[in-house]
Protein backbone atom coordinates (compact mmCIF):
# COMPACT_ATOMS: atom_id res chain seq x y z
CA UNK A 1 0.00 0.00 0.00
CA UNK A 2 1.49 3.34 -1.01
CA UNK A 3 0.79 6.48 0.94
CA UNK A 4 1.59 10.10 0.44
CA UNK A 5 2.34 12.78 3.02
CA UNK A 6 0.75 16.02 1.87
CA UNK A 7 1.26 18.27 4.90
CA UNK A 8 4.36 17.81 7.02
CA UNK A 9 4.20 21.25 8.62
CA UNK A 10 1.69 20.35 11.34
CA UNK A 11 1.85 17.68 14.04
CA UNK A 12 -0.92 16.22 16.15
CA UNK A 13 0.12 16.26 19.79
CA UNK A 14 -1.50 14.17 22.52
CA UNK A 15 -1.86 16.40 25.59
CA UNK A 16 -3.49 13.76 27.78
CA UNK A 17 -7.01 12.67 28.70
CA UNK A 18 -7.56 11.59 25.10
CA UNK A 19 -7.16 15.19 23.93
CA UNK A 20 -5.03 16.05 20.90
CA UNK A 21 -4.05 19.44 19.50
CA UNK A 22 -2.45 20.53 16.29
CA UNK A 23 0.88 22.38 16.48
CA UNK A 24 3.59 23.28 14.03
CA UNK A 25 7.02 21.67 14.28
CA UNK A 26 8.64 24.69 15.98
CA UNK A 27 5.95 24.77 18.68
CA UNK A 28 6.34 21.06 19.35
CA UNK A 29 10.13 21.36 19.55
CA UNK A 30 9.78 24.25 22.02
CA UNK A 31 7.33 22.24 24.12
CA UNK A 32 9.66 19.22 24.14
CA UNK A 33 12.60 21.40 25.23
CA UNK A 34 10.53 22.88 28.07
CA UNK A 35 9.50 19.40 29.18
CA UNK A 36 13.12 18.25 28.98
CA UNK A 37 14.21 21.14 31.23
CA UNK A 38 11.43 20.32 33.68
CA UNK A 39 12.44 16.67 33.80
CA UNK A 40 16.08 17.62 34.35
CA UNK A 41 15.09 19.82 37.30
CA UNK A 42 13.00 17.01 38.78
CA UNK A 43 15.91 14.56 38.43
CA UNK A 44 18.18 17.00 40.30
CA UNK A 45 15.51 17.42 42.98
CA UNK A 46 15.12 13.65 43.34
CA UNK A 47 18.89 13.17 43.59
CA UNK A 48 18.94 15.63 46.48
CA UNK A 49 16.03 13.81 48.12
CA UNK A 50 17.83 10.49 47.65
CA UNK A 51 20.98 11.91 49.26
CA UNK A 52 18.96 13.20 52.21
CA UNK A 53 17.38 9.77 52.70
CA UNK A 54 20.80 8.14 52.58
CA UNK A 55 22.07 10.59 55.20
CA UNK A 56 19.09 9.90 57.45
CA UNK A 57 19.45 6.14 57.09
CA UNK A 58 23.16 6.35 57.92
CA UNK A 59 22.37 8.41 61.02
CA UNK A 60 19.78 5.86 62.15
CA UNK A 61 22.24 3.01 61.51
CA UNK A 62 24.93 4.76 63.57
CA UNK A 63 22.47 5.37 66.42
CA UNK A 64 21.48 1.70 66.37
CA UNK A 65 25.14 0.64 66.51
CA UNK A 66 25.75 2.97 69.46
CA UNK A 67 22.72 1.55 71.29
CA UNK A 68 23.85 -2.01 70.67
CA UNK A 69 27.26 -1.25 72.23
CA UNK A 70 25.70 0.04 75.45
pLDDT at 24: 93
pLDDT at 63: 93
- Contact assessment for residue 27 and residue 18, using Cβ atoms and an 8 Å cutoff: no
Note the Cα 16 to chain centre separation in Å: 16
70 pLDDT exceeds 80? Answer: no
Least confident piece of the model among 6-10, 17-21, 32-36: 6-10
Q: Where are the domains of the chain?
A: 10-69
- Contact assessment for residue 13 and residue 20, using Cβ atoms and an 8 Å cutoff: yes
pLDDT at 54: 98
Q: What contacts 45, CB < 8 A, 6 or more positions away? A: none
Q: Stretch 24-40: mean pLDDT, rounded?
A: 95
- Contact assessment for residue 10 and residue 24, using Cβ atoms and an 8 Å cutoff: yes
Whether this model's pTM surpasses 0.85? no
Amino acid sequence: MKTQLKDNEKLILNVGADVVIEKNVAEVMKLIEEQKKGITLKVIELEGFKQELQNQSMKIYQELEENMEE
